[in-house]
Structure 1
Amino acid sequence: MTVTTPAIVLTAVKYSEADLIVSCYTKEAGLKSYLLRNLLKSKRGKLKPSYFQPLTQLNIDAVHRDKGTLERIREAQVAYPYQSLHTDVIKSSVTLFLAEVLKSSIKEEEANEALFQFLQESLLRLDVSSKSTHFPILFLLKLTAYLGFYPDFSEAQLPYFNMLEGSFQMQEFGHAIKTREAVQCILAYNDLSWEDVGNVRVSKTQRKEALSWLLEYYQLHVENFKQPKSLEVLQTVFS
Structure 2
Amino acid sequence: MFTETKAIVLSKIKYRDSDLIVKCYTQNDGIVSYLLRGVFKSRKAYSKVAYFQELSQLHLVTDYKEKRGLQYIKEVKISYLYATLHTNVLKSAVVIFLAEVLSSALQEEEQNDTLFNYLEATLQWLDTNETYANFHLLFLLNLSKHLGFYPDKTEIDAPYFNLNDGEFQFEKESRYAISSENLVLLKQLLGTNFDTLEAVKINGTQRQAFLGIMLLYFELHLGAFKKPKSLQVFNEVFN
Q: TM-score, normalised by structure 2?
A: 0.94
Q: What amino acid does structure 2 have at the position aligned with 1:192?
A: T
Q: Secondary structure at the match of 1:188?
A: helix
CA contact (8 A) 2:159 2:170 kept: yes
Between 1:30-39 and 1:184-193, the stretch displaced more is 184-193
Q: Which residue of 1 aligns with 2:10?
A: 10
Aligned equivalents of 1:96, 1:46: Cα separation in 2: 21
CA contact (8 A) 2:161 2:169 kept: yes
Deviation at 1:191, TM superposition (A): 2.6
1:60-95 superposed Cα distances (whole Å, 9 cap, x missing partner): 011121215111111100111111100110000000
Q: Secondary structure at the match of 1:90?
A: helix
- 2:96 equivalent to 1:96: yes
1:194-225 superposed Cα distances (whole Å, 9 cap, x missing partner): 11112211122211111111000000011210
Question: Structure 1 regions of 5+ residues with no counterpart?
Answer: none
Q: Which residue of 1 aligns with 2:134?
A: 134
Deviation at 1:171, TM superposition (A): 2.5
Q: What amino acid does structure 2 have at the position aligned with 1:9?
A: V
Deviation at 1:238, TM superposition (A): 1.2
- 2:87 equivalent to 1:83: no
Q: Which residue of 1 aligns with 2:224?
A: 224
Q: TM-score, normalised by structure 1?
A: 0.94
The alignment yields a C-alpha RMSD, in angstroms, of 1.7
Aligned equivalents of 1:163, 1:75: Cα separation in 2: 43
Q: Secondary structure at the match of 1:59?
A: strand
Q: Which residue of 2 aligns with 1:189?
A: 189
Aligned equivalents of 2:40, 2:82: Cα separation in 1: 22
Q: Secondary structure at the match of 2:190?
A: coil
- How many pairs align? 239
CA contact (8 A) 2:61 2:76 kept: yes
CA contact (8 A) 2:160 2:172 kept: yes
Question: Structure 2 regions of 5+ residues with no counterpart?
Answer: none
Deviation at 1:177, TM superposition (A): 2.9
Q: Which residue of 2 aligns with 1:22?
A: 22
Q: What amino acid does structure 2 have at the position aligned with 1:231?
A: L
CA contact (8 A) 1:149 1:221 kept: yes
Aligned equivalents of 1:236, 1:173: Cα separation in 2: 33
Q: Secondary structure at the match of 1:44?
A: helix
Q: Secondary structure at the match of 2:41?
A: coil
Between 1:158-167 and 1:215-224, the stretch displaced more is 158-167
Between 1:151-160 and 1:74-83, the stretch displaced more is 151-160
Deviation at 1:181, TM superposition (A): 4.8
- 2:162 equivalent to 1:162: yes
CA contact (8 A) 1:7 1:27 kept: yes
In structure 2, relative to structure 1, the CA distance for the partners of 1:182 and 1:136 (3 Å cut) is closer
